Structure 1
């Protein structure tokens, strides 16, 4: 009997075929804040995580918590990010999609509220808010 093919051995798993989890910094998702409250955070560092194209922004919020979120184009150390319904329309701010005017470019859109973002998360991607309707927002 011959040896099993390499792909079959990989499919079975084992220590030599496991992916190393070293080099991972943190999950890239938004913190769980109530949108009715306004929170301000400052980017304290831009870090590269192995296996990810987009850099992560290390953000310290005014309550002292630290979170890692995908950095937007134009993000730099020391810039402010606002979370909440009353935030102004600016690069990096987190606002409800229903409050964003038509024609605005958006990235890291959440499918369900609080999931941390699931659409347009990779480096350089964005979408445009096309229209607001009774059923929802077309992107």
Structure 2
């Protein structure tokens, strides 16, 4: 079960618009979900090490999530990178070591490394590359901007102070799951 302090209720829209009328037909039903509050930012926890307490399923996204317990006692969920396991110690900040699951400013990550959960605006939290199996690659650093190649092939210039997490996102077999029939989707 997810940590109660890090979840909240999630109301389904069921294809209704703000006035309650059906704007998209045939939406609705399905299993109830609790929304897990996920830390896409990790800025306010710079230089505080965190232990991976568990890796959990999240019905709201394709990736799994990892529960971190910080040295100061706080618990938070992050998107689970590929290759981390329970008991690993992760860190964030400009001086964090270059290893999977650590979050650093783009300027501090070596060229050629794969990253995920990339910020577009400083302090806003990760917005790019957040789904299962996703990764982007750092290609070059020039002045105030870093060139990142997304899995679509798109090249983006992103400000060097924006934060990204090192490594690929786990649960990469999600794309191979066979739904089987229309009733199961």
With normalisation by structure 2, the TM-score equals: 0.62
Aligned counterpart for 1:39 among listed residues 45, 48, 51: 48
Contact conserved, 2:40 with 2:117, CA < 8 A, in 1?
A: no
Q: Is the 8 A contact 1:31 1:67 kept in 2?
A: no
What's the counterpart of residue 79 of structure 1? 88
Q: TM-score, normalised by structure 1?
A: 0.81
Instruction: Tell me by how many angstroms 1:32 deviates.
Output: 3.8
30, 33, 41: which is aligned to 1:30? Answer: 41
CA distance 1:11–1:134, shift in 2 (3 Å): same
1:21-68: per-residue Cα shift (whole Å, max 9, x none)?
633222352334164xx1100110111111311001110111111111
Structure 1 stretches of 4+ moved >6 Å: 18-21
1:10 is aligned to 2:8? no
Check 1:121–1:134 CA distance in 2 against 1; reply closer, same or farther (3 A cut). Answer: same
Of Structure 1 and Structure 2, the greater strand share is in 2
Question: What residue is the counterpart of 1:3 in the other structure?
Answer: none
Distance 1:82 1:28 in 2: 13
CA RMSD of aligned residues (A): 2.8
Structure 2 counterpart of 1:126: 135
Match of 1:51 in 2: 60
Q: Does 1:94 align with 2:106?
A: no
Pick closer, same or farther for the CA change 1:102–1:19 going to 2, 3 Å.
Answer: same
Matched, 1:69 2:70: no
Q: 1:55/1:17 Cα in 2 relative to 1: closer, same or farther (>3 Å)?
A: closer
Counterpart CA distance in 1 for 2:121 and 2:109 is 17
